[in-house]
Structure 1
Amino acid sequence: MKKDDHKLKEYEHKFKEHKLTPQRKAILQVFLENHGGHLSAEEILKYAQEKNNDIGFATVYRALDLFEKLKIINRVNFGDGRSRYELVQREMKHHHHHLVCMNCQRIIEVMDSLLHELEENIEEEHNFSIYDHRLEFYGYCEDCQEGED
């Protein structure tokens, strides 16, 4: 069994009530091959068509809606009017955080869970059970800062 086939097997159980069509499989492979990426629908279409040229935008959008419903992917928006999608990281309770460069649009993931203590305080003080949170920082990446000199 190839490495990619093994990764796909980990997600097959999510499709109990839905068929894993060749098109959905190709789109899922795009996420598995770009793990850690923040892909737009256009990028997903481009990569998926390299695997199966019988895929159009409507198929991509329907698959993205289904994958989000099945908690395979997360939709993220960085304020630029474009949704991006990333593979859910099963080993993490919460989303990771993002640094977004306002010049080149580079997205850097921050894996530290610096808000853990704040979450605990909020849960205790307000008797509120926190399921998740999102945090993005906007600024300029190292490469873009060097270009200003």
Structure 2
Amino acid sequence: MRQAMNQKPDYEKELRKAGVRITRPRRIIIDILTSTEDHPDAMRIFHRAIEIDDSISLSTVYRTMNLLEEMGAIHRHAFNGGPSRFEQARGEHHDHLIDIDTGAVIEFQSGKIEKLQEEIARSLGYDIVHHRLELYGRKTDRSS
């Protein structure tokens, strides 16, 4: 399932196509995923979900996230060895810059980086079939 950056994914439709029943807890989790712009971990999704319905279990969150990941609807990231964080699988490739002080995840695209990666792979006799670039940094102090 590939989506343009500005188009909301239809997780419910994809789950139904896969034969998965859409329960109220799953619908709430899906609504949280489609309305978020951050890269939440399962616990953050769980806390957002129980604010809406306190009967939702953490295991339901994990099962739903695993289903969506298996379908290719979301991507799982373990930034800097932390808990798995999730994002919508979108059509445009992008990389990540992770702020090591705040945990903020900044998405970016760079044609220069993509071209350099291709050149490196080609020079070593490879075609890139998949890659993921994560940069870890600290915001520079521009006041001095």
The normalised TM-score by structure 1 is 0.76
Q: Which runs of 4+ in 1 moved over 6 A?
A: none
Equivalent AA in structure 2 for residue 139 of structure 1: G
Separation in 1 of the partners of 2:32 and 2:123?
A: 41
Separation in 1 of the partners of 2:106 and 2:25?
A: 29
Higher relative contact order (CA 8 A, sep 6+): 2
The structure-2 alpha-carbon separation of the partners of 1:18 and 1:83, relative to structure 1 and needing over 3 Å to count, comes to same
Equivalent AA in structure 2 for residue 126 of structure 1: G
**Which residue of the partner structure matches residue 98 of structure 1?**
96
**Which residue of the partner structure matches residue 61 of structure 1?**
62
Equivalent AA in structure 2 for residue 19 of structure 1: R
Q: Find the residue that maps to 1:105 and give its secondary structure.
A: coil
**Which residue of the partner structure matches residue 83 of structure 2?**
82
- Over the residues paired in the alignment, what is the CA RMSD in angstroms? 2.5
**Which residue of the partner structure matches residue 129 of structure 2?**
131
Matched, 1:38 2:36: no
Match of 2:27 among 3, 25, 28: 25
**Deviation readout 1:32-85 (Å, 9 max, x if unpaired):** 1113x1101111001111222221111111111111011121101111431111
**Which residue of the partner structure matches residue 11 of structure 2?**
11
Equivalent AA in structure 2 for residue 28 of structure 1: I
**Which residue of the partner structure matches residue 3 of structure 2?**
none
Separation in 2 of the partners of 1:11 and 1:71?
A: 10
Shift of 1:115: 3.2
**Which residue of the partner structure matches residue 4 of structure 1?**
none
Runs of 5+ in structure 2 lacking a partner? 1-7
The structure-2 alpha-carbon separation of the partners of 1:107 and 1:118, relative to structure 1 and needing over 3 Å to count, comes to same
- Does the CA-based 8 Å contact 2:69-2:76 persist in structure 1? yes
Separation in 2 of the partners of 1:22 and 1:113?
A: 42
Separation in 2 of the partners of 1:49 and 1:38?
A: 18
The structure-2 alpha-carbon separation of the partners of 1:126 and 1:26, relative to structure 1 and needing over 3 Å to count, comes to same
The normalised TM-score by structure 2 is 0.78
- Does the CA-based 8 Å contact 2:98-2:106 persist in structure 1? yes
Match of 2:112 among 111, 114, 119: 114
Aligned-pair identity (%) = 31
Aligned length: 135
Shift of 1:88: 1.2
